[in-house]
Structure 1
Amino acid sequence: MNRRAIPCFGLGVSLALHAVVLTLAARHLVTAPDTPVRAADEPPVIQMTLMPPTLPAPVDIRPVPEVRPAAVVPVARAVSTQPVPTTTALAPALHEPDSVAAADTSAAPRQIASMAAPPAPTAEEWAFAARYTLKNSKGYRHTWGQQVRSMMGTAIEGPDQGSVRFRVEIGADGTLTRLETLWSTSPVAEQLARQAIASLPRWPPTPTGKPLVFEKTLSFTPYATDGPPIYKDDCLPDPSAFGNPYAWDGRSDRAPVPARTVEPPDPQAMEDCRKQLPQDSIEAESARDQRLMDQWGWGASKVGR
């Protein structure tokens, strides 16, 4: 291709491109819709068409024709010749459920609890009580309470049951010199106890040869009894009573009071004391465990440990 033909070729290509652009522009102008052009910031317009509401179907309110029942034909029945029960006999069955009526007929009457009086102390028990001097004549005090309770009779459950506590003073010769009621939960129990004490003869002399003063609770109930005491620890000294060492009476110097120390007993005196200790019975051990369990629970007895 020579140099003169190059400009002619470029001109032809430019004319062809301009022809294509004009053709596309003319086609666009012919097929463009008549709808106006919306600006970019103009909000859209939504057209809504309201439809008429749908009414419910009409209700038929015509009266319903009256329907008369058919005639009832009486049926002949056999008449029973048995007597009709009275209203009194039918009342429990009509007003009470079947279970309650059955329970009332089968339930047995409740038995009232009772406890017979313990036997009176024997001559051997009184002989032991008359010579036992430890723990404020412990054996004498228990035997005296057992003798009085045995004469009070059988304790029956009810308003007459209860307990009474006395302060007793017995002379050196065994005569009753003082009887004072500290408290009582039943006037019947107190009356029976006083009658038993008044009808008793003179008791044996006190073990120490001195007046014996003590307090005793007599239980007149169908579930409690005064069991025999335990004697195996009577030779040990009494533990010291607790006292607050920092208590102040407001007058003396405020200084702590030292606790009183308990000195160990003499070995020879301990050996002599143990010679008069009786053999504890199984009943005494059981009564002690029962008292501890009633007061402190199962953890206080040896069985519960």
Structure 2
Amino acid sequence: MTQLRLRPSLAIWLSIALHLGLILLWATYEGFIFAKPKDRNPDIIEVHLEEPIAKNNSDLATSLNSDKQAASSEAPSAPTAEEWAFASKYTLKNSKGYRHSFGQQVRSMMGTAIEGPDQGQVRFSIEIAPNGTVTKVETLWKTSDKAERLARRAIQSMPTLPPTPTGKPLIFERTISFTPFASNDAPVYRDDCLPDPPSFGNPFAWDGKSPQDIKKNKPAEKPSPEALAECLKQLPQDSIEGIAAHNQRQLDQWRSNKLNQEK
């Protein structure tokens, strides 16, 4: 009887000892209990490093973008009454001043452009009646739905425009830039009396049937001295802003990162 009573108590004590041993091993493994071996060199310093926290590329991109402030550009001022008065009388280059003032008026009513998915450009085909009424607005292409929506809203609600300079319907294409990185598009008028260069045609083009000959491109027509003198009377004095914008456009178009490199 005594042996039977000792067997359950012995099993209980063995179970407790086993669990205590497992707990001590787990605590030592996790670092809660540091073993001190007898042969440890006192001159060696041990450093326990924590494992780095892994970050996804998306998390890094989000943190970088959060630190960067989005660029923005306020809407330019609308053309003044003096600028519209000049534009309504300037007939050269398909009413160049009128076309510029129209684009500036539209952009001035579109609000601030902020860097992001809504920025972009839209190009319209515009037709304006002789009395200044916009009769046609056709979208040729766009890179932003918001830019097109704001531009169309501005065209629909813009004030009454002056009559066209020629007294005829004015048909032209215009690109509206709704982006903080848009460059100034102030026009330069100094070369408007020069004739337009003729369109280029391949002189060696041949349809394979007609007699083959080399076609010569037509030279540019030179205006008469009287017509040139009359044309020069319309030219205004170019503004500093217009010249600076013209030079910047030329630089953006023709510059190369291969120029002025040290050999």
Count, aligned residues:
201
* SS of residue paired to 2:173: strand
Deviation at 1:162, TM superposition (A): 0.4
Give, in whole Å, the separation in 1 of the partners of 2:224 and 2:82.
Answer: 31
Deviation at 1:171, TM superposition (A): 0.6
| Structure 1, gaps ≥5 residues long | 1-68, 71-92, 98-107, 300-305
Deviation at 1:96, TM superposition (A): 5.9
Give, in whole Å, the separation in 2 of the partners of 1:262 and 1:111.
Answer: 51
Give, in whole Å, the separation in 2 of the partners of 1:121 and 1:264.
Answer: 34
Give, in whole Å, the separation in 2 of the partners of 1:296 and 1:154.
Answer: 29
Deviations 1:104-135, CA, capped at 9 Å, x for gaps:
xxxx9321100000000000000000000000
2:129 to 161, 171, 174: 171
Give, in whole Å, the separation in 1 of the partners of 2:94 and 2:216.
Answer: 28
Scaled by the length of structure 2, what TM-score is found? 0.72
Query: Identity across aligned pairs (percent)?
Result: 62
Question: For residue 52 of structure 2, what is the amino acid of its counterpart?
Answer: H
Report which stretch shifted further, 176-185 or 197-206. 197-206
* SS of residue paired to 1:169: strand
Deviations 1:210-263, CA, capped at 9 Å, x for gaps:
000000000000111342101000001011111111111233221111221223
Whether 1:152 aligns to 2:101 is: no
Deviation at 1:267, TM superposition (A): 1.1
Change (3 A) 1:226 1:262: same
* SS of residue paired to 1:179: strand
Q: Aligned residue for 1:95? A: 52
| Structure 2, gaps ≥5 residues long | 1-36, 39-49, 55-65, 258-263
Give, in whole Å, the separation in 2 of the partners of 1:288 and 1:201.
Answer: 29
* SS of residue paired to 2:94: helix
Question: For residue 231 of structure 2, what is the amino acid of its counterpart?
Answer: C
Q: Aligned residue for 2:144? A: 186
| Mapping 1:32-71, distance limit 5 Å | none
* SS of residue paired to 1:210: coil
Whether 1:109 aligns to 2:67 is: yes
Give, in whole Å, the separation in 2 of the partners of 1:113 and 1:121.
Answer: 25
Structure number with the bigger relative contact order (C-alpha 8 A, sep ≥ 6) is 2
Q: Aligned residue for 1:130? A: 88
Give, in whole Å, the separation in 2 of the partners of 1:240 and 1:164.
Answer: 28
Give, in whole Å, the separation in 2 of the partners of 1:196 and 1:246.
Answer: 48
Q: Aligned residue for 1:248? A: 206
Deviations 1:198-220, CA, capped at 9 Å, x for gaps:
10132111000000000000000
Give, in whole Å, the separation in 1 of the partners of 2:184 and 2:175.
Answer: 9
Q: Aligned residue for 2:100? A: 142
Question: For residue 114 of structure 1, what is the amino acid of its counterpart?
Answer: S
Give, in whole Å, the separation in 1 of the partners of 2:124 and 2:109.
Answer: 16
Deviations 1:133-165, CA, capped at 9 Å, x for gaps:
000000000000000000000000110000000
When the two chains are superposed, the root-mean-square deviation of aligned CA atoms in Å is 2.2
Change (3 A) 1:136 1:284: same
Question: For residue 183 of structure 1, what is the amino acid of its counterpart?
Answer: W
* SS of residue paired to 2:88: helix
* SS of residue paired to 1:240: coil
| Mapping 1:175-254, distance limit 5 Å | 175-254=133-212
Query: Would you identify which runs of 4 or more consecutive aligned residues in structure 1 move more than 3 Å?
Result: 93-97
